[in-house]
Amino acid sequence: MTTRPLVLACVVVLAACLAVAPAGGVQSEPTLTIDDATLEPDGSTTVRVALDSAPDGLAGFEVRLALRSGVATVGGAEYPDQFRPTTDPDVGPDGREITIEAADLESAVGPGATNVTLATVTVEANGTGTAPLAVEAAQIDDDDGGRVDPGTAAGTIAVDAPTATPTETDRQPTTDAASGGEPPETDASGGGAVTTTGSGPGFDALAAALALAIAALLGRRRR
């Protein structure tokens, strides 16, 4: 009989927890993401900066991005038509940072929106290797005037090493020093160079046989 009060207390605690829990369940934290990109040497491309979810809509944002290596620089940014920039994109003096800032004046991004593109940033190759493009600071406001504190996911900017192009010298056939600089001969089947010696095949054996024949002839005449 002593267990009934304990069971009753557990039921009360569980009911209280259910009463304060959000009706829609636990919401995941929005994440500010930057796409990866691969560039050719001296090339350029754009990467997307996006908010993966906006549970309470989006009123505006100010985000500062930074490249943490000198293999690339940022050249500027553009906003989707649904946003109105409050200032022009601000690129740092060394091309390693950019600040993007805009407002959703027409409430185009409503509560529950997902995969919201905030801007596209231009990056330009300045070397070879890889560099993270990361969020250094972010201020994002929802439609209710509240501050959103998103997680962040940096993008990786990769600049490939240049591919060597064969030169005209590389395409020239090799020469044979023994033949006065002429390209080596190939056999009739095209299988490869023909190797020859100064005396030719079987020359020494032929000379020896001829000498023996002459010696034998002279010996007969002396008899």
Q: Which residue has the tokens 């002396």?
A: 222
Residue 20 has a pLDDT of 40
Angle at CA of residue 177, ends 175 and 183, nearest 5°: 25
Q: Mean pLDDT over all residues of the chain? A: 79
d(CA 143, CA 110): 8
Rounded to an integer, the average pLDDT of 97-125 is 96
**pLDDT at residue 132 tops 60:** yes
Banded pLDDT at 164 (limits 50, 70, 90): low
Banded pLDDT at 104 (limits 50, 70, 90): very high
Does this model's pTM top 0.75? My answer is: no
Residues 6+ apart with CB under 8 A from 119: 48, 49, 63, 77, 78, 79, 80, 89, 100, 102
pLDDT in tens, 177-194: 555 555 555 555 555 544
pLDDT in tens, 12-59: 344 444 344 344 344 578 999 999 999 999 999 999 999 999 999 999
Task: Please report the sign of the dihedral spanned by the C-alpha atoms of residue 41, residue 46, residue 52, residue 56.
Answer: positive
Residue 15 has a pLDDT of 44
